[in-house]
Structure 1
């Protein structure tokens, strides 16, 4: 079953070009995904319900519920009325962490802030980026040129974000898509873990605005460099610099902005 798209009857309205006609358009599925951890209701995210096993792992790693993929016992994915249930099963010691975190969560969304109780939690220190890669502008250009080939859902719907993991030479190793940019990155991080690919050995490319949450997810995954096609926010730039993350933004075919490159990784 295709969880990612549905066909929607629409009518083309001619504006600059004349000619109205009835069409069928593929649109991206956006559905509530209930995340349960050890039987505890933890979050409800709006997401594209594809690659949910990858999402479960990336979400658990990003939330700090697990430190390594092998700490997840099992992931179950079930269709439910109105959406999907994603059930993550952890060993008892990790369940205690999830229960404590769930008690602190007030409300849930994919925004990355809902459920955090105070500003101190938002601005808690990030781990320092210790990984290094040797890359250059040609690698960034190559990855940007190749990205459309890894966006089948984007081509079909024009309504989703992509997150890709690239080698230092700019070869795209893995990519994931979702209506939410945070979800796409979580899926990618989970897919890397399941495939045994170390995020420290390459860089992440995102077809999205560079918000601080994306910087934090990249840092916590241990990846040394993030490239986005849109501009960063002020907090994203500050957090990247503080953590030692190389950040490249507004990446286009003709130019890009180096926001942060504290270790001189980009030749």
Structure 2
């Protein structure tokens, strides 16, 4: 159940111009709040997120952390407001308990600056599942999706400060979209929505309004998206991980051009 939680707040500001003029103005700002996730009553992570679509977020997060392999292993998500933020109590199938505890022990050495310790270095780049070949998607479908994504970003329209993750079918028609101040969170929410709704994620492509880090490629591969499109540039590791997973990766998506960074299935040959 989605609680009535504020997603946007307003601040009184002063607008400055180059000629020195100053005028009172109001500004909508997205709410960013700590969201604590616990599994089997054990605290797992605290994420800074937009407090919207939290059941979707919990579901997608559980998959991207490899705590579940499919939606049938998630039993329940309870959302509880707290004084400083929100609590997500997540119950998984009983046979996932020991796996969660093992993962919690691995995370003990993690820090905000990255992964610390040999054990965690081994965990950092775990093998990814191979995704299938995307359906026959024409370039015009990708440009169609890019052209329409803005209409499905209501929080960003109000604030100009949140990322979007959206799933489109092979023709470039929108299936679902989610927003968050965090690009990772937005993708987790999208994946969670698709899992909970029984959406076949192998039948289209994901579009992200952010730069493409390797974590986003991994989340896309774990979810089963065969193609990922981002509006900004990828890192070197993102491209390498896309090749490893067989994921088609397209970056720097603009109205007049896009750059195919990984094409493991040979869908977009040069000179075509």
Q: Same fold (TM over 0.5)?
A: yes
Distance 2:240 2:133 in 1: 19
Greater mean deviation of Cα atoms: 88-97 or 142-151: 88-97
C-alpha spacing 1:114/1:54, structure 2 compared with 1 (3 Å): farther
Asked whether 1:185 is paired with 2:190, we answer no
Distance 1:125 1:97 in 2: 17
Asked whether 1:231 is paired with 2:227, we answer no
Asked if 2 retains the 8 angstrom alpha-carbon contact of 1:166 and 1:173, the reply is yes
Question: Who is 2:74 aligned against?
Answer: 72
Provide the secondary structure at the position in 2 that maps to 1:11: strand
Question: Who is 2:7 aligned against?
Answer: 4
Deviation at 1:162, TM superposition (A): 0.4
C-alpha spacing 1:3/1:13, structure 2 compared with 1 (3 Å): same
Deviation at 1:93, TM superposition (A): 1.1
Asked if 2 retains the 8 angstrom alpha-carbon contact of 1:45 and 1:108, the reply is no
Distance 2:111 2:232 in 1: 22
Provide the secondary structure at the position in 1 that maps to 2:179: strand
Asked whether 1:248 is paired with 2:250, we answer yes
Question: Who is 2:16 aligned against?
Answer: 13
TM-score (norm 1): 0.94
Structure 2 unaligned spans of 5+: none
Distance 1:114 1:239 in 2: 18
Deviation at 1:21, TM superposition (A): 1.7
Alignment of 1:117-266 (within 5 A): 117-266=119-268
Distance 2:56 2:200 in 1: 15
Greater mean deviation of Cα atoms: 97-106 or 201-210: 97-106
TM-score (norm 2): 0.92
Question: Who is 1:51 aligned against?
Answer: 53
C-alpha spacing 1:170/1:124, structure 2 compared with 1 (3 Å): same
Asked if 2 retains the 8 angstrom alpha-carbon contact of 1:105 and 1:115, the reply is no
Alignment of 1:91-106 (within 5 A): 91-106=93-108
Deviation at 1:195, TM superposition (A): 1.4
Structure 1 unaligned spans of 5+: none
**Alignment length (residue pairs):** 265
Asked if 2 retains the 8 angstrom alpha-carbon contact of 1:77 and 1:86, the reply is yes
Considering only aligned residues, what root-mean-square deviation do their CA atoms show, in Å? 1.8
Query: Per-residue displacement from partner, 1:172-221 (whole Å, max 9, x unpaired)?
Result: 11000001100000000000111111111110000000000000000111
C-alpha spacing 1:118/1:2, structure 2 compared with 1 (3 Å): closer
